[in-house]
Amino acid sequence: MFELGTLPLASPLLYSAPRGDGHPVLVLPGFMTSDRSTRILRRYLRRLGYDVHRWELGRNLGPRAVGENGELLHERLHEIMDNCSGQKVSLVGWSLGGAMARQLGQRFPDTVRQVITLGSPLQGSPRSTTVWRVYEAATGEKVTSDKVREQMAEIAAPPPVPTTAIFSKGDGVVPWQNCCVAEGEQSENVEVYGSHCGLGVNGTVLYVVADRLAQPEGEWSKFDNSGLRRLIYPSGAMH
């Protein structure tokens, strides 16, 4: 609620974000939430000029929402691409939605333009989060199963598409180290101040998402947090 309340204060920053090029963007909600939780984020990106899409799979209950092997989410991704004249789709995922987005980027690099994750568990043990017991109860999936271990290994692998992992050391749900990726030529970590449940309505996060999406396809470069931006976007990412 605090981060939502500070959005008006972030208006100058948000209005200074570059305009979009109209390419399709799929926004994935976090664990136990639905498209309602990403409404502000989607509305902002739509106003910037992107062709923004909901995931339309109800509440994010892991395999119960996306299919045992993610097939429902795979279908949704390719449906958007087909309806957008074959344009690649950028993915923005919050929490568990980000982990799913990262997996889509690994599996379909010819379909995904880039991946942006918000406080998402991208590495480490799922038991290090504060909600792993709730996850098991809600999804019917054991976090120690071979299937989950294979998925986590896939998500943690070097990405074949540009990837930006946004994290906060004050997350409170997922250890911030687990929200980071190994930095490389097309992968980066961007630190913000905020809470796990507020990332999708955090003005500084919305700006980073807009800045990353505005890059021309094939010309990706890392987020610039030099100068005065360092006051808002501190250093300290895991390399």
Mean of the per-residue pLDDT values of the chain: 92
Domain membership of residue 169 (yes or no) is yes
What is the C-alpha end-to-end distance of the chain, expressed in Å? 32
Nearest alpha-carbon partner for 163 in 199, 189, 128, 126: 189
Domain membership of residue 144 (yes or no) is yes
Domain membership of residue 147 (yes or no) is yes
Residues counted in the chain: 239
Domain membership of residue 237 (yes or no) is no
Dihedral sign of CA atoms 222, 223, 225, 227 in order: positive
Q: Tell me: pLDDT of 236 over 60.
A: no
Task: Note the pLDDT of residue 230.
Answer: 85
Domain membership of residue 38 (yes or no) is yes
Q: Tell me: pLDDT of 48 over 70.
A: yes
Domain range holding 173? 2-231
**pLDDT tens digits along 69-102:** 999 999 999 999 999 999 999 999 999 999 999 9
CATH value at residue 30: 3.40.50.1820
- The pTM for the full model equals 0.94
**How many structural domains compose the chain?**
1
